[in-house]
Amino acid sequence: MSMSLQEWLDSTYLKAAQKNGERREEFRRSSGDALQPLYAPQHSNGYIEKNGFPGEYPYTRGIQPTMYRGRLWTMRQYAGQEDAESSNRRYRFLLDQGQTGLSVAFDLPTQIGYDSDSPMAESEVGKVGVAIDSIEDMRTLFQEIPLDHVTTSMTINATATTLLALYAAVAEEQGIDQSQIGGTIQNDILKEYIARGTYIYPPTPSLRLITDSFAYCAENVPRWNTISISGYHMREAGSTAAQEVGFTLSNAIAYVDAALATGLEFDTFGGQLSFFFACHSNFLEEIAKFRAARRLWARIAKERFGATNPRAMMLRFHTQTGGVTLTAQQPDNNVVRTTVQALAAILGGTQSLHTNSLDEALGLPTEHAVEIALRTQQVLAYENGVADVIDPLAGSFYVEELTDQIEHEAEEYLQVIDSLGGAVRAIEQGYQQSQITEAALQLQRELETEAAAAREGIKPGERGRVKVGVNRFVTEETIQPEILRVDPTVRERQIEKLERLRASRNGVVVRDALDRITQAAAGEENLVPLIMGAVKDSATLGEISDAMRSVWGEHQEHVVV
């Protein structure tokens, strides 16, 4: 029989609080009365048996016994622009303003394996993130930022192993052993085929790169999350909340299956898997989504993969507020949208959080806008008490029913994908893509129906979906916000750096390092140590990518009509 709430408070929670500490000695209401860490039925164990306690299987109520009472979520603002010098200034600004973790946005050439001087990179260098061509850029990117004092998330997929190698090499230059660095590489190629498009290689060799990083990091970089299995981009492409959960977990199953096929043990690498979800504007549905995802993944890990390591059963996740929900019209309204979404992520138990800036529907965030976005998290963390109690909306009839519904709907998607042969085969057949497309079309129909209803004088929300400032409550725009403009000379500066690098390095050593990567790509040797060696020898990201392209070719999208 499950223990009672009081027994849990007196044992598990007390031990965790003593071990981990709490942010302050007591959490109190405005009246001065102390708050319990957790609220749950005192006498009926049915609820506890189904949901567990925080830090206990199936982790519905959170993955740590103390949750935010022990440690707040990591405030990790996604940033990167132009070159390494410019992005470094933005990172140091954010850290000075109280950000607690870094999150790197890379430009498109970096994401798809081209150096800045490639003809394929023309017009895209530094536009949607920072350009990283070599170890020199990576060194500059983290100048004056001690990598043993921050954790860094890198939103990178096709070239993730190369960026991890560059990061580890720079840490070593700072005197920090690989075993001491912490962070995440997104490294989630399957969602690129589904929703985003920044892939290079076909699925099979792409999965090999991922499992190579699993094996290498399990042994050498234990504090690193080797993958961030991402529902965010599928949600941004138009999926429903249940589809986001189902498709994300089906991709996770595919990665685990690929790793098991190489001989890795789930309990060994499962604790280094992390997840990444969007948080959109249906407040209570989003809270329920996170609770359902935790419970469902715990069950998959235990029942499907035989996990015995508790950490391997925990769905640890980063959240980003919904970029696609932001509007260019009345952009100040985006502050409200982001605040509500961030609050839902916190009440849903996220481990780290990015809050979008008010101007992101117009361009890259200005320094003023990103400061407001960070301050939004700080207000929620320190002013309104939502982090003082664990899982405070649990027990709500509506939240519990939504949690069950989303879990059930996500399971149905998993069953369909299993029947199609797994995530990769389903992607090849266009299943996930077609489901997301239909959901996106339905949303667009609802927005357009509401716009027509507005023209007919029908009350808001009676026929479609309201988007404030877009199809309802539209006003004449009188104030144009400042828009950040990318320096048009950034590509020229990157090309000059590449020319100096190639002139100063040992070309024979670089060629040998690249040849070893090509030979290993044609065989079975783990590629990560070879990529590590190549970046230290000053091989560029594009050269390393081309070494593998020469063996594997490039993925050609199969369009399903």
Structure tokens at 510: 């670089």
Residue 454, number of CB atoms within 10 A of its CB: 18
The 3-state secondary structure of 314-369 reads CCCEEEEECHHHCCCCCCCHHHHHHHHHHHHHHHCCCCEEECCCCCCCCCCCCHHH
Residue percentage of the chain with pLDDT more than 70:
98
Which pLDDT score is estimated for 222?
96
Residue 400, number of CB atoms within 10 A of its CB: 18
Q: In the predicted model, is pLDDT for residue 44 greater than 70?
A: no
Which pLDDT score is estimated for 24?
79
Q: In the predicted model, is pLDDT for residue 480 greater than 90?
A: no
Distance CA 354, CA 102 (A): 10
Q: In the predicted model, is pLDDT for residue 86 greater than 90?
A: yes
Q: Which residue has the higher pLDDT, 496 or 40?
A: 496
Closest of 136, 73, 127, 85 to residue 105, by C-alpha: 127
Distance CA 226, CA 214 (A): 6
Q: What is the DSSP letter of 102?
A: E
Q: Find the mean pLDDT for residues 289-295.
A: 98
* Residue 20: pLDDT band with limits 50, 70, 90: confident
Q: Is 111 within 8 Å of 157 (Cβ atoms)?
A: yes
Q: In the predicted model, is pLDDT for residue 1 greater than 70?
A: no
Distance (Å) of CA 514 to CA 375, 456, 534: 45, 65, 7
* Residue 164: pLDDT band with limits 50, 70, 90: very high
Distance CA 156, CA 236 (A): 17
Which pLDDT score is estimated for 557?
80
160-173 vs 541-552: helix axis angle to the nearest 10?
150
Distance CA 70, CA 22 (A): 4
Distance CA 449, CA 414 (A): 32
Q: How far is CA 172 from the centre of its chain?
A: 26
Largest distance between two CA atoms of the chain: 74
Which pLDDT score is estimated for 481?
79
Residue percentage of the chain with pLDDT more than 90:
92
Which pLDDT score is estimated for 40?
85
Please tell me whether residue 138 adopts helix, strand or coil conformation: helix
Q: Find the mean pLDDT for residues 525-531.
A: 98
Q: In the predicted model, is pLDDT for residue 149 greater than 80?
A: yes
Distance CA 214, CA 325 (A): 34
Give the model confidence (pLDDT) of 482-515 as tens digits.
888 889 999 999 999 999 999 999 999 999 999 9
Distance CA 286, CA 280 (A): 7
Q: In the predicted model, is pLDDT for residue 479 greater than 80?
A: no
Give the model confidence (pLDDT) of 172-187 as tens digits.
999 999 999 999 999 9
Which pLDDT score is estimated for 25?
73
Q: Find the mean pLDDT for residues 40-57.
A: 85
Closest of 307, 348, 388 to residue 61, by C-alpha: 348
* Residue 362: pLDDT band with limits 50, 70, 90: very high
- Taken in order of first residue, the domains within the chain and their CATH numbers are 67-434 (3.20.20.240)
* Residue 55: pLDDT band with limits 50, 70, 90: very high
Give the model confidence (pLDDT) of 390-419 as tens digits.
999 999 999 999 999 999 999 999 999 999
Say which residues have a Cβ less than 8 Å from residue 46's Cβ, sequence separation at least 6. none
Structure tokens at 163: 């960026």
Residue 216, judged by CB atoms within 10 A of its CB (0-12, 13-18, 19+), counts as buried
Q: In the predicted model, is pLDDT for residue 3 greater than 90?
A: no
* Residue 240: pLDDT band with limits 50, 70, 90: very high
Which pLDDT score is estimated for 42?
65
Which pLDDT score is estimated for 470?
96
Q: Find the mean pLDDT for residues 428-432.
A: 96
Strands, sheet with 317-321, edge to edge from the N-terminal-most edge strand? 224-225, 182-185, 151-155, 101-105, 74-79, 352-354, 317-321, 273-279, 227-230
Which pLDDT score is estimated for 375?
98
Residue 488, number of CB atoms within 10 A of its CB: 10
Please tell me whether residue 541 adopts helix, strand or coil conformation: helix
Q: Which residue has the higher pLDDT, 479 or 100?
A: 100
Give the model confidence (pLDDT) of 257-273 as tens digits.
999 999 999 999 999 99
Give the model confidence (pLDDT) of 318-342 as tens digits.
999 999 999 999 999 999 999 999 9
Q: Find the mean pLDDT for residues 67-93.
A: 96
What type of residue sits at position 108? L
